[in-house]
């Protein structure tokens, strides 16, 4: 008999890998308004909302384990355009459209979801697909 897994309470971190950390951080801070938690030339961690962090790693800079006084962070890396969604309040997509136009960032797609949520999509400087999504996309996101 299989035992139930302990509960998961959310996704704490999402990572993307970029060629230029400073350029990517400038985009996420300057265009999307995320605030920096920590940063250096290898990694920037941004506050992506309550209990959520967007990690920006320099591509190839984490391909070996990192040993710190508290333990070891296993090697990781990635390539290609990633996709992730940032939650935005219901009714805010009009404000986001105007904001992105003012920043010169094109919206690449839009979606009205069957459960009532709406999304707009844009690309960051490394080609990652960023979705700005209102509640109502998934049955568990109300």
Q: What is the pLDDT of residues 69-97, one digit of tens each?
A: 999 999 999 988 999 999 999 999 999 99
Please determine, for residue 23, whether its predicted confidence score (pLDDT) is greater than 90: yes
Note whether 122 and 100 are within 8 A (CB).
Answer: yes
Residue ranges and CATH numbers for the domains of the chain are 13-61+79-133 (3.10.180.10)
Dihedrals φ, ψ of 116, to 5°? 110, -15
Please determine, for residue 133, whether its predicted confidence score (pLDDT) is greater than 70: yes
């Amino acid at each position: 008999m299989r035992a139930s897994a302990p509960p998961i309470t959310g996704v704490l971190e999402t990572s993307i890998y970029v060629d230029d950390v400073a350029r990517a951080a400038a985009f996420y801070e300057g265009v999307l308004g995320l605030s920096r938690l920590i940063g250096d030339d290898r990694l920037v961690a941004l506050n992506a909302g309550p209990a959520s962090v967007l990690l920006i790693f320099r591509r190839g800079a984490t391909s070996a384990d990192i040993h710190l006084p508290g333990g070891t962070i296993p090697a990781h890396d990635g390539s290609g355009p990633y996709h992730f969604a940032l939650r935005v309040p219901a009714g805010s997509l009009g404000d986001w459209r105007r904001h992105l136009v003012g920043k010169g960032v094109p919206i690449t797609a839009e979606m009205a979801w069957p459960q009532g949520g709406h999304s707009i999509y844009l690309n960051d400087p490394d080609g990652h697909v960023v979705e700005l999504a209102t509640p109502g996309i998934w049955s568990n996101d109300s």
